[in-house]
Amino acid sequence: MRVVHTVPELRQALARPPVLVPTMGALHAGHLALIDRARAAAGPEGCVAVSIFVNPIQFDRAADLEAYPRTLESDLEKCRAAGVDVVFAPAADAMYFPDRSVTVLEHSLSKTLCGATRPGHFDGVCTVVLKLFHQFRPAAAVFGEKDFQQLAIIRRMVRDLDVPVEIIAAPTVREPDGLAMSSRNVRLTPEQRADAPRIRQALVAADSIRQAQPGPTAVLERTRAAIASPLNRIDYLELVDAETLQPAPGFSRPTVLATAVFYGDVRLIDNIRL
């Protein structure tokens, strides 16, 4: 496995277009599932590449950036064991010029869900992902469905900017109790961690609510009540069209029920298709 830290080193390490898994490190079983999906797409003789970069321009809160776990040596061990061919782990000054003045902006899909409460977040995501696509020149890139809005926005960016990259979606990987795997889970207290599976339980129950009471109001009200606890604060709970991410008036088209929930300063997201 080649580990490189600059773009020129990366270009030298890539003999052919890879299948890319962009990450911010602190790798867990969910990331390893993305790497497995990349290997399946690349084939045994293909190239699987992983980027590890905590992207500062997508954080809307300085405290969240500071607290984000950084476990590079452990991450490299996991990548090596998973059969990754190339890891790109740049410093911030290798990714951004100090006088940078160009940002990728998305004006529609980023206005709801996480985008509504995290101004500038998806501008930072789009900018770094487009840079990674230029740096790696991948044949395909793998993203998890847990970050449903991010996946939809990246697909839109690739479509609108004619980026020659296939976007592969991988299912959300969960803990045995249903909690979506996240690098932030390790920051939960034992009491918060025991309470957090209620998020998934409430989303799964929403489909039964939809069948009994077809209107979206009942689904949202009862799901909100099921998620709420003295230990958490709901950032948002929204029912949106699966393609446009605009509020869904009903269920005549594919819809997504998505939520973000704070436990203290730890923000967890999850979603389910209805």
The catalytic residues are: 31
Q: Is the dihedral of CA 245, 181, 68, 26 positive or negative?
A: negative
Q: Rounded distance, CA 200 to CA 174, Å?
A: 10
Contact 49, 87 (CB under 8 A): yes
> How is residue 227 written in tokens?
């998620």
Report d(CA 113, CA 118) in Å as an integer: 9
User: Residues 45, 17: contact at Cβ < 8 Å?
Assistant: no
Short-list 127, 72, 51, 136, CA closest to 96:
127
C-alpha distances out from residue 132 to 43, 118, 127, 196, 214, Å: 22, 22, 9, 33, 43
Contact 114, 121 (CB under 8 A): yes
